[in-house]
Every structure is written in C-alpha cells, then in structure tokens.
C-alpha cells in the first residue's frame, strides 16, 4: 500500500515540480492558498481519524499531490477500517470461543462433567485449549464416576456395617441378658448347693485332679478346726488324722483307688473317712475329674455301739460268772463226787441244773442277737462243696438227738454242685438250729427228718422237713418274731428261748438269702432257706457269730 502511495507520490512530485516551475508567482500564491486549504482539510480528517472517527473522507480537489495525499489518506482510512473490522472479527471470535470454554468450565464447575467444548476445524489455539479442556473434563468425569461408584460401595458397606453393628448390639444385649439370667440361675444353684453343703453334717473336702484342696464345707472346717480360709486344709487334715495314715490313703486315692477308713478316733470324736474319686465323664480316658474326702462324725453312733457292746460284754461276763459256779458245783454234786445222793436229791439237782443251763443258753442267745442286731455280722466265705458240708453238719448235729428217736435223711441234688464260697460258721448255725428244732419238736415214734438241696434259678434251696408238731395257723405269722414261741411248742418243751428262728432268719438275710416255711399243725413243718448260686459275698463286719445252742 505504502509502496503504491509512494509510487503515486513520486510520480506526482515530478509533475508538481514542473507545474511549479511553469507557474508564476500568482499562481504560486493561489497555489499556496489552495495548499493550505487542502492541508487544513486533510488535517481535519486526520484529526477526526485520530479522534476515532473513521467515517470521514478526505476530499480530493485536484489531481495533484494533495489529491494524492487525500487519496492516500482515504485508502489508509479504508485500510484502517478493514483492519479494524478484522480486528473486531478476531476479537469477536476469541470472545466467542472463550465464552464457549467458560461455559463448559462453568458447567463443569456446576457439576456437569459431560459437557464438552466444541472443537472447530480451525485447529487453532482455542481448539487446542478446547481439546485439552475436554480431555481434562473426560478424565474428571471418569474419576467422578469412579469416585461415585466407590462412594456408593462405601455407602453400602457402611450400611452393612451399620446393620451389623446393630445386630451385634442386639446380640450383645441378648447375650448379656442370658449371662444375667444364667448368673442368677447359677447363683441359685450355688445357693442351693451351699445350703446343702454348708448344712451337711458330713465334712466334705473337694480336691481337684492334682490333689489340691479347692473347697471345704463348714462341717469339714469345724472338724478340722479351720478358722482361716488361708489354712492349708489338706495339711491340717493329714496332721489331725495322722494316726490313721490318711496321707497314704489319700495318695492311693489320687492314683484312682477309693478308700474308706471305717473308724478313727481322734479325741474327742470318732470319725469315718471316705476317699472318693470322681471320674471325668466327658473324658473317656480313665482320668479323674477330682476327688472327694468325706469325714463323717460317727461319735454318737460309735459311743452307743460301744456302750451297747460294753453292756453286752459286762452283762455276759457278770451274768456268766455266778452261773458258772452254779453249773460246776451242780455237776460235781450230781456226779456224786462229794457224796452219794438219794434219788430225790438227784432229781432236785437235775432240775436246778436244767434251769441253770437254760439261763446260760439264754445269755448266749441274747449276746448273739445283740451282735446280729448291731448289724455288723462278718461273713467270711471259703470255697466249699455245699452237699459235703451239709452232710458233715448233719453228722455234727446227731448228738442233739439224745434218744436216737429220729430218722434223718439227706437228699442230695442229682448232679454234684460246683464249689461255692460259703461261710461255714454261719451255715452251721442255721442247719444246726433247724435240725435242733426238728428233733426237739418231733414226738418219739414219729420223727422223720429230711434235708434236701435243690437248685432253682439263681439260688440253691435247702429245706429241712420234719413230721413234728407243726406250727399252728395262728402262730405262723409270728414265728420269726423275737422271743415268740407257739403254744404247742411251749407245751412240749418249756425251755425254748424263742430266739432261734429270729436269729437264723437274720443270718440268712445277711448273706442275701431268703427264709420261708410251710407247716400244718400235727403234721409237720418244712423250713426253706436259700443260698445264691454265686455263693456268699464276703462282708467286713465287726462281729462273728459265737456258737450257741438253741
């Protein structure tokens, strides 16, 4: 442009130079006036332009330099206008694109990350910016989605946790409730147990499976004299009952052997001590859950027993003493060792002897009864052949039949019986007594006695059958009663004690047998008693039976 103007200007200048040279001075003055005017107009235009008004135009008066200037200025104005328009367009475009981007950013800021800035084909910086923005927004959107998803998950998890924690809370409350109930139950049980254990008169010491004392009830503490719970219960127990070697018993109990000390006297009391082992039921090995020591104060019973025993002992001794001398002197008198007797004297002496004998027998019977009633009859069985033994007993009893009036038969079982444990002294007593009765209560000429052994089920039944006076119906229910004698028996033999059947029934019962009878007055009686086929079981009593005669 400038070049064009320059070219024109250059051409014009050449012409102008010629013009000026050809003109006169007047023309020069007119020309100066014209030039001034023209320049003033042009300046006016320029100042308008300078002030920003592009809607002006320079006048072209002549086709001279000034005219060229005017043209030049007009072209410049045109150019400026063009440029202004372009500039304006460019600004508008930038604004538009920027607005677009701002909009998108605003949307994004408001939360809409799906908005995307438009991209044109121009591939200019705005497009680059838009692309960049879109990429960023895409990423942000993705992240947003991810985050939202994670938040959702977390929310879910939170909800689950919340509901779980609610459940746990409920469970906790329910468990707490149950614990409270259970505790109350246990407390009740404990109270019941305590009521029992603390009021028990038997002392109980509970030991764990290692043998350490974990509990002693009130009675035990009293017996052992324990006041302080810190005391070593076991030590005190060992010391107090040292004379019975309780430590040894205790150690054996720990090994699994239960023990019992029936009687140990530690002044001022007498005690029975039991060592028990409590097996562990859940554990199928033979281990023990714990151990129990019972200490039973048996002082009153023992004192009574001892008093009774002493009484019996004294009575027997004291009563027997005078009776002995009576017996001995009567014997010597009756044997005429100190002088001959007339028949009446002999008669009287015999009567006294009989009474004396009766008293002696009575005392013996009372002693036996007393022992049996104390309940501690010993049973000491030995393996024996039953029939053989019964046969010897029958032989032994023969002297009872002084006049030989009786016929005794023994009916053995068909097959020989196996040896079984039998306490001979007890069986002897029973058979002897039954035979004595059979002989005593049979009339001469009618004395047939049959002893029979039979097996029935789990028992051997021994029967003693006679053809004697029998037991009247009225007397039958009372026949085993202590001191009872049927009238017909008393009439026949006044001297019976009434203790015989009572005693042997007790003996039979003590070995686990049963005793029964069948009888008819004036016909005869059969007594039956049983021995288990397994035989008699050993019983650790304190007393054996002393021989006595009915």
Partner 1 sequence: MEETQNTNTSSTKPKILLAEDDKYISRAYKDGLERAGFKVIIAFDGEEAMQKIKAEKPDLVLLDLVMPVKNGFEVLEELRIDGELSEIPVVILSNLGQESDIKKGKELGAVDYLIKANFSMKEVIEKVKEHLARSKLSRK
Residue choice 21, 121, 228, 337 for contact with partner 1 (CB under 8 A): 337
Cβ–Cβ < 8 Å for 525, 465: yes
Residue choice 166, 170, 187, 331 for contact with partner 1 (CB under 8 A): 331
Residue among 24 and 338 whose Cβ is closer to partner 1: 338
Return the beta strands (E) in 107-231 as ranges: 203-208, 213-216
Measured from the Cβ of residue 330, the count of other Cβ atoms closer than 10 Å reads 19
Residues 373-392 that bind partner 1 (CB under 8 A): 378
Residue among 317 and 340 whose Cβ is closer to partner 1: 317
Cα atoms found within 13 Å of the Cα of residue 220, Cβ hemisphere only:
25
Residue among 60 and 378 whose Cβ is closer to partner 1: 378
Residue choice 49, 323, 391, 436 for contact with partner 1 (CB under 8 A): 323
Residue among 230 and 317 whose Cβ is closer to partner 1: 317
Residue 355 in contact with partner 1, rule: CB under 8 A: no
Tokens of 78: 């045109």
Instruction: Specify the 3-state DSSP secondary structure of 374.
Output: coil
Number of amino acids touching partner 1 (CB under 8 A): 27
Residue 152 in contact with partner 1, rule: CB under 8 A: no
Q: What whole-number distance in Å separates Cα of residue 136 and Cα of residue 539?
A: 106
CB 331 to partner 1: min, Å: 5
CB 327 to partner 1: min, Å: 7
Residue among 209 and 357 whose Cβ is closer to partner 1: 357
Stretch that binds partner 1, among 47-55, 98-106, 171-179, 308-316 (CB under 8 A): 308-316
Residue choice 141, 327, 482, 539 for contact with partner 1 (CB under 8 A): 327
DSSP structure string for 442-510:
S-TT--EEEEEEEEETTEEEEEEE--SS---TTTGGGTTSTT---HHHHHH-TT--S-HHHHHHHHHHH
CB 332 to partner 1: min, Å: 6
In sequence order, which residues have a C-beta less than 8 Å from that of residue 204 and are 6 or more positions away?
197, 215, 216, 217, 219, 220, 292, 293, 294, 295
Residue choice 163, 183, 313, 516 for contact with partner 1 (CB under 8 A): 313
Q: What whole-number distance in Å separates Cα of residue 499 and Cα of residue 402?
A: 22
Measured at the CA of 357, the angle between CA 356 and CA 363, to 5 degrees, comes to 95
Stretch that binds partner 1, among 105-113, 161-169, 256-264, 359-367 (CB under 8 A): 359-367
Q: What whole-number distance in Å separates Cα of residue 138 and Cα of residue 108?
A: 10
Helices 386-397 and 424-440: angle between axes, nearest 10 degrees: 50
Residue 317 in contact with partner 1, rule: CB under 8 A: yes
Residue 302 in contact with partner 1, rule: CB under 8 A: no
Give Dmax (Cα) for the chain. Answer: 237
Positions touching partner 1 (CB under 8 A) are: 309, 313, 316-317, 320-325, 327-329, 331-332, 335, 337-338, 360, 363-364, 367, 378, 543-544, 546-547
């Amino acid at each position: 442009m400038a070049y064009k103007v320059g070219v024109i200007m250059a051409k014009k200048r050449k012409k102008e130079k010629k013009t000026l040279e050809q003109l006169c001075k007047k023309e020069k003055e007119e020309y100066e006036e014209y030039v001034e005017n023209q320049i003033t107009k042009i300046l006016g235009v320029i100042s308008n332009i300078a002030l920003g008004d592009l809607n002006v135009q320079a006048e072209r008066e002549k086709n001279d330099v000034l005219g060229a200037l005017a043209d030049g200025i007009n072209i410049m104005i045109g150019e400026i206008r063009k440029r202004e328009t372009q500039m304006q367009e460019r600004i508008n475009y930038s604004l538009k694109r920027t607005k677009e981007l701002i909009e998108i950013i605003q949307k994004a800021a408001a939360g809409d990350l799906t908005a995307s800035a438009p991209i044109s084909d121009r591939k200019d910086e705005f497009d680059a910016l838009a692309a960049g923005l879109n990429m960023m927004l895409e990423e942000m959107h993705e992240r947003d989605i991810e985050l939202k998803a994670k938040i959702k998950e977390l929310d879910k998890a939170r909800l689950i946790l919340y509901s779980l924690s609610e459940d746990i809370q409920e469970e906790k409350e329910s468990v707490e409730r149950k614990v409270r109930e259970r505790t109350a139950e246990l407390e009740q049980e404990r109270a019941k147990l305590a009521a029992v254990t603390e009021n028990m008169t038997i002392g109980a010491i509970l030991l764990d499976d290692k043998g350490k004392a974990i509990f002693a009830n009130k009675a035990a503490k009293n017996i052992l004299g324990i006041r302080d719970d810190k005391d070593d219960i076991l030590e005190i127990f060992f010391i107090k009952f040292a004379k019975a070697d309780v430590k040894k018993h205790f150690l054996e109990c720990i090994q699994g052997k239960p023990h019992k000390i029936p009687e140990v006297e530690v002044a001022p009391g007498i005690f029975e001590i039991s060592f028990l082992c409590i097996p562990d039921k859940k554990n199928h090995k033979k281990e023990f859950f714990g151990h129990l020591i019972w200490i039973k104060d048996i002082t009153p019973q023992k004192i009574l027993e001892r008093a009774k025993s002493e009484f019996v002992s004294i009575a027997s001794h004291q009563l027997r003493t005078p009776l002995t001398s009576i017996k001995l002197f009567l014997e010597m008198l009756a044997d005429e060792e100190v002088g001959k007797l007339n028949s009446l004297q002999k008669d009287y002496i015999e009567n006294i002897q009989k009474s004396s004998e009766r008293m002696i027998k009575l005392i013996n019977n009372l002693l036996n009864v007393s022992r049996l009633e104390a309940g501690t009859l010993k049973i000491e069985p030995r393996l024996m052949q039953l029939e053989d033994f019964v046969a010897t007993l029958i032989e032994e009893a023969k002297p009872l039949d002084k006049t030989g009036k009786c016929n005794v038969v023994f009916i053995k079982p068909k097959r020989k019986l196996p040896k079984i444990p039998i306490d001979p002294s007890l069986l002897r007593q029973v058979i002897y007594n039954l035979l004595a009765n059979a002989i005593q209560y049979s009339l001469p000429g009618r004395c047939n006695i049959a002893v029979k052994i039979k097996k029935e089920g789990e028992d051997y039944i021994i029967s003693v059958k006679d053809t004697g006076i029998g037991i009247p119906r009225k007397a039958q229910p009372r026949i085993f009663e202590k001191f009872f004698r049927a009238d017909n028996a008393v009439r026949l033999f006044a001297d019976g004690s009434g203790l015989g059947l009572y005693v042997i029934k007790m003996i039979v019962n003590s070995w686990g047998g049963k005793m029964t009878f069948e009888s008819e007055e004036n016909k005869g009686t059969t007594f039956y008693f049983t021995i288990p086929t397994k035989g008699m079981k050993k019983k650790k009593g304190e007393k054996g039976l002393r021989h006595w005669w009915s």
